[in-house]
Amino acid sequence: MKTQLLATLLVSTSLLAGCSTLSTDSESTMDISNKIKAVALLNAIETGDSKAIGYVNSNNYTQHNLAVADGLAGFGEVLQALPKGSAKVNVVRAFEDGDYVFTHTDYNFFGPKVGFDLFRFENGQIVEHWDNLAEKAEQPNPSGRTQLDGTTTIVDLDKTAENKLLVADFVETILVNAEYNKLAKYFDGDNYLQHNTAIADGLSGLGQAIEAMGIQGITMEYSKSYKVLGEGNFVLAISEGRFAGEATAYYDLFRVENGKIAEHWDVMETILNKEQWKNTNGKFGNL
């Protein structure tokens, strides 16, 4: 693995900014989709591919992972801290919505993890990054599903806007406002595939999980929806709330089929206390 090489390149941002060959190379890759660029940058964590660094604006890169210092130098510091040869990256799903690309990835990054990454592009370069990471579960959920399996095929591109509206309405009505009496209108009966580590398929499985949490005194609250992005039949919702009393970031990925929510993946991450932040950009800044 070439993590050390990549880290050195990331830290040397002034060299990147002034390199004429990099500028020429960036111009020649403008026709490459932003989705391909984002995936290449993530893969570079494992491979050390220096070309991927050209997809990042070295003079203007804002980091919203609160455990990482701002800019490329902060990212480089994290890579340098990784145990040699430990990093693994497998981007399972990738989607593009305007200036944004979001990915669903299987990581070994200081241990096995599942994550969503969100990148914002300007003029073909990455200028901003948000993410949500969780430990990878050792066992499937009660329905035998994992945090990452299931379909990856993007269809219904002509229904992207419609599907985003459906999910935005679901998040606001059900998750934020807790109007559970309206739950059924978003689903095709009990036909609902679930990838949350603790919940079984169907609305019945969701109901059982909510009941079990209630018995244990565990609360799950959504207080604000920040962003809804989508491509075709896949829609990602980014929200804030509290889980078991802790401030939490929720990234929920939904697959929509025939106007109904058909499948769900998620990553929940406890938000660091402010004294632990390594940048001041905020977990949801600019969303």
Same domain assignment for residues 256 and 167: yes
Residues 39, 128 share a domain: yes
Helix orientation angle between 71-81 and 3-11, rounded to the nearest 10 degrees: 160
Query: Does 224 lie in the same domain as 167?
Result: yes
Do the domain assignments include residue 276?
Answer: no
Do 118 and 219 fall into the same domain? no
Type of residue numbered 222: Y
Q: What is the identity of the amino acid at 273?
A: N
Report the C-alpha gap between 217 and 236 in whole angstroms: 28
Residue 111 burial by CB count (10 A; 0-12/13-18/19+): exposed, middle or buried? exposed
Q: Do 73 and 9 fall within a single domain?
A: yes
Please determine, for residue 1, whether its predicted confidence score (pLDDT) is greater than 60.
Answer: no
**Cα–Cα distance list, 136 to 81, 92, 218, 219 (Å):** 20, 14, 21, 22
Question: DSSP string spanning 170-238?
Answer: HIIIIIIT--GGGGGGGSBTTB-EE-STT--SHHHHHHHHHHHHHHHT--EEEEEEEEEEEETTEEEEE
Tens of pLDDT, residues 128-160: 999 999 999 999 999 999 999 999 999 999 999
Same domain, 103 and 195: no
Lowest mean pLDDT among 65-79, 88-102, 121-135, 137-151: 65-79
Residue at 283 is within a domain: no
* CATH number for the domain that contains residue 189: 3.10.450.50
Q: Which domain holds residue 193?
A: 157-270
Clarify whether residues 12 and 52 are in a common domain: yes
Alpha-carbon span 170 to 154, nearest angstrom: 21
> What's the mean per-residue pLDDT of the chain?
90
pLDDT greater than 50 at residue 21? no
Whole-model pTM: value is 0.91
Q: Say if 36 falls within a structural domain.
A: yes
Label residue 171 exposed, middle or buried (CB < 10 Å: 0-12, 13-18, 19+). buried
Question: How far does Cα 226 stand from its chain's mean position?
Answer: 13
Side chain identity at residue 203, one-letter code:
L
Q: Are residues 125 and 9 in the same domain?
A: yes
**How many separate domains does the chain show?**
2
Instruction: Say if 35 falls within a structural domain.
Output: yes
The answer as to whether 146 is a domain residue is no
Beta carbons of 104 and 116 less than 8 angstroms apart: yes
Lowest mean per-residue pLDDT among 75-89, 106-120, 170-184? 75-89
